[in-house]
Structure 1
């Protein structure tokens, strides 16, 4: 069907949010917690120049990648609870694996565990091949599901983003360049929460930063089954829910 044949009302339908995942990496070695932030390249159409966490759009094939360890039960259950009428473990895995893959792609960091020499690549995707080349497999047990945010209608991009938290000591290896192969994030830095909140951030990133800081105060060890905060548009206003 050509554009001229599309009904006018069809053009006005809001974009359907696409599954995405983001990883909030926290350094707990010093006196105060620090968080990893990076600035989006100015060439991006979506949020150019803003400081964000590593993350991106989920690839359904991520759900088939073998892991050194799986999501802990409470986190997997909460992920699946937000999937509507047909939740699947594969989709939950794909979201968590997406967060790990994007963290490598954008920050050059490998969250995983050794799986022995001579392992075959889990996927032809270059990011997962990089894990296999180091005899690493992604470790989902290091992730805690903490937040979800759905981009409101009217934006040029819409994502249904799940935010995970992991500690820096879950990093098994890193690229020597100090950044990821995609070049999408620049100026990667570990900052206190106060300093991170002073950056040029998207409003939802600032909100999730503050939620994460509060969760770490309540559960410094990030116990499984954290309260998950959800932000989405309802009846014309952004609402916060906790599950």
Structure 2
């Protein structure tokens, strides 16, 4: 992912529509949501699927002291990263429902990049001084937009991939604590934000769905106070 790649104007790549419309709160415009992506890595166990999660610091400005999935905001260079394998067609189409092709690619790359930066685990391989992300096993789960009342907002896509595709060992950068594999019960015991709990339930339902019933399924959108609607 070259550091000298041109960085597009993030406002020019925002398909937010109603999700990004400004509103008034105490005389100020609501913050514009930044495009972001999180990756739910799972592995199956007799007790059910385990998910890779870590705890945000208590002093974090956004969602402090809660367990989250690795992820973060899109960088300009993510638009230009060349993948080791391309996104599956169904995942690309799902992302492009509310994103340009360039942004859809960048969202998937951002999820893989943030995974590596936060956990040391690689979904891809190093190529010289760069890193080629492996996008071939990534599937789309849902989207969530931070409420307009929040001073920090994200238009976040949640993607999923099997943990068996990971390379390396967990070696956190310090951005997330308590990195590890959590069952649903263990994650709830470790304190979840309401939106993370809802996305986790969406993942559990997705994992329990027969593969032949996944294509064409309604895509969930969480916005406002974690209200679930269907992506239009």
- TM-score range for the pair, normalised by the shorter chain length: 0.7 to 0.9
- The question of 1:240 aligning with 2:232 is answered no
The TM-score, its normalising length taken from structure 1, stands at 0.78
Question: Is there any run of 5+ residues in structure 2 with no aligned partner, and where?
Answer: 1-23
Are the structure 2 counterparts of residues 237 and 69 from structure 1 closer, same or farther at C-alpha, using a change threshold of 3 Å?
closer
CA distance in 1, matches of 2:58, 2:26: 32
Q: Structure 1 residue 23: deviation in Å?
A: 0.6
- Which runs of 5 or more structure 1 residues have no equivalent in the other structure? 1-7, 122-128, 132-136
SS in 1 for 2:123: strand
Give distance in 2, aligned partners of 1:77 and 1:208.
Answer: 20
Residue 97 in structure 1 maps to residue 109 in structure 2: yes
Look up the SS of the partner of 2:158 in the other structure.
strand
Contact 1:26 1:167 in 2 (8 A): yes
Question: In structure 2, how many angstroms separate the alpha carbons of the residues matched to 1:9 and 1:223?
Answer: 40
Change (3 A) 1:10 1:163: same
| 1:193 corresponds to which of 184, 188, 195 | 184
Distance 1:222 1:35, change over 3 A: farther
Paired positions, count:
209
How much has 1:113 moved relative to structure 2? 4.9
Distance 1:172 1:219, change over 3 A: farther
Q: Give how far 1:237 is off.
A: 7.9
1:225–1:106 CA distance, 2 compared to 1 (3 A): farther
Indicate the structure (1 or 2) with the bigger Cα radius of gyration: 1
The answer as to 2:27 corresponding to 1:47 is no
Question: Match for residue 231 of structure 1?
Answer: 222
Q: Which residue of 2 aligns with 1:125?
A: none
Q: CA deviation at 1:197?
A: 2.6
When normalised by structure 2's length, the TM-score is 0.81
1:163 matched to 2:158? The reply is: yes
Evaluate the alpha carbon distance shift between residue 50 and residue 113 of structure 1 in structure 2; reply closer, same or farther with a 3 A threshold. Answer: same
Which of 93, 109, 115 is matched with 1:77 structurally?
93
8 A contact 2:79–2:105 mirrored in 1: yes
Answer yes or no: is the 8 Å Cα contact 1:110–1:172 preserved in 2. Answer: yes
Task: Give distance in 1, aligned partners of 2:230 and 2:209.
Answer: 18
1:120 aligns with: 128
Deviations 1:188-218 (A, max 9, x none): 1212122223321111000000110011001
CA 1:156–1:201: 2 relative to 1, 3 Å: same
Q: 1:210 maps to what in 2?
A: 201
Asked if the contact 1:227/1:242 (under 8 Å) is kept, the reply is: yes
Matched position secondary structure for 1:23? strand
C-alpha distance 192-17 of structure 1, shift in aligned 2 (>3 A): same
